[in-house]
Chains A and B, each alone.
Chain A
């Protein structure tokens, strides 16, 4: 099957690549573009380890064809921060030990990013409901929820300080 020419914006940069339409977005990101933040967990739309932000929505990139993502604006965990300049969510996951093995973390953080954009003052229940598409097989949910609530508080404090 012929490859098609794909153009997307990934972490603020325009990228172009050739891919078969049937290739999954997660495979294009990891194998063609070398973006290894999104992980392949279950590959069956359940675990959320492959979550990316696509056109303002949290999506499981194992359940999107490369061709569907043509023209899309995608943010992965790499687009939020880097080791010298962590995003507040990354800081808070570190601070509150919101990870054990760390495999689910990139998906958790990019999903939490969208959740906090939509709801900057979530209750604990809002966080649990909003994170229900991301599984942690270490079952470290308590600290993940704590980290996200702490990040919300930090972001709100920073906003207030800026005003």
Chain B
């Protein structure tokens, strides 16, 4: 389990990292926590001549809640998301999801930036970011640009980020109302068989707004506008939930793997989404 040889770089600013990435070209990669990349390098499924470690870049760290907007630096770890009181107040769904990622050791090191930028359909944060309608900040040689999480994912491991860009931050408006991140996995540390992120607002006894996204049920995260629309304006009764679940299942395209055949995954997705909707509604 020895990876191929590489040269190691530890820049101390985003500018320096972007410059290195441009100079060293396509044989270089940035590394955040490394808990997706290093296992791939050990299996020699990823190979590069230069590794650019982002650990010393202070600007990439930290959580800011400012006037209802949450901004999280890309190098913020899952553990830091879990421990942050301001984030727990502003967006408790972040902690609920982060606690279901991997195991304690991995959460100390794994970052939100790596989780969303990697493009692995098994990662939990991309679906949650789509549910929150988050925005990603990318910095490259031509400066900074923003991409909506809902437009970021193109296929497994392919995203709107170009090779010369670094994902530096995510931001979203602090959600109101009820929330739930529900995940079915075979064991601690596993990726989801199916997972669902749900945000619901309540006005009187009706649902006034709904956002639904799902994880590991397609080669990208799945934001289901139709599922949200099925709940919006409804009294959130059994019929509305059935319609929303049917709409979401229509948007997913799970593939058979060691977590089960397609029919099983569709079944699990339906169960998990219903649980997430009911829990979010109970908190709305």
B-binding residues in A (CB < 8 A): 1, 4, 20-24, 43-46, 48, 51, 57-60, 62-65, 67-68, 70, 111, 115, 129-133
A60 touches B7 (CB 8 A): no
| Complex alpha-carbon distance, A43 and B108, angstroms | 18
Report yes or no: B55 in contact with A68, Cβ–Cβ below 8 A.
Answer: yes
Query: Which residues of A are found within 8 Å of B8, using beta-carbon distances?
Result: 4, 21, 65, 67-68
**Nearest-Cβ distance from residue B183 to partner chain A, whole angstroms:** 14
Q: Does B104 contact A (CB under 8 A)?
A: yes
Pairs A–B under 8 Å by Cβ, sample size 15: A21-B7, A22-B2, A22-B41, A24-B1, A24-B2, A43-B1, A45-B39, A57-B108, A57-B109, A59-B105, A59-B108, A68-B31, A111-B104, A130-B104, A133-B103
Q: Which residues of B contact A22 (CB under 8 A)?
A: 2-6, 41
**Considering the chains assembled together, what is the distance between the CA atoms of A133 and B103 in angstroms?**
5
Q: Which of B31-53 contact A (CB under 8 A)?
A: 31, 34-35, 38-39, 41-42, 51, 53
Does B58 sit within 8 A of A, measured CB to CB?
no
Contacting residues, chain B, for A62 (C-beta < 8 A): 1
Residue with the greatest number of chain B CB neighbours at <10 A, chosen from A1, A22, A67: A22
Alpha-carbon gap, A94 to B189, bound state (A): 28
Q: Spell out B's residues near A (CB within 8 Å).
A: 1-8, 10, 31, 34-35, 38-39, 41-42, 51, 53, 55, 79, 102-106, 108-109, 188-189
Q: Which residues of B contact A45 (CB under 8 A)?
A: 35, 38-39, 106
Tell me how far the C-beta of A112 lies from the nearest C-beta in chain B, rounded to whole angstroms: 11
Instruction: Tell me whether B1 and A63 are in contact (CB under 8 A).
Output: no
Known A-B contacts A22-B2, A63-B39; the reply to A58 vs B104 at CB < 8 A is yes
Q: Give every chain B residue within 8 A of A21 (Cβ-Cβ).
A: 5-8, 51
User: Of A23, A43, A51, A70, which one neighbours B105 at CB under 8 angstroms?
Assistant: A51
Q: Please report the C-alpha to C-alpha distance between residue A21 and residue B10 in the assembled complex, in whole angstroms.
A: 12
Q: Are A133 and B189 in contact (CB under 8 A)?
A: yes
When distances are taken between beta carbons in the complex, the residues of chain B under 8 Å from A129 are 104
In the assembled complex, how far is the CB of residue B108 from the closest CB belonging to chain A, in whole angstroms? 4
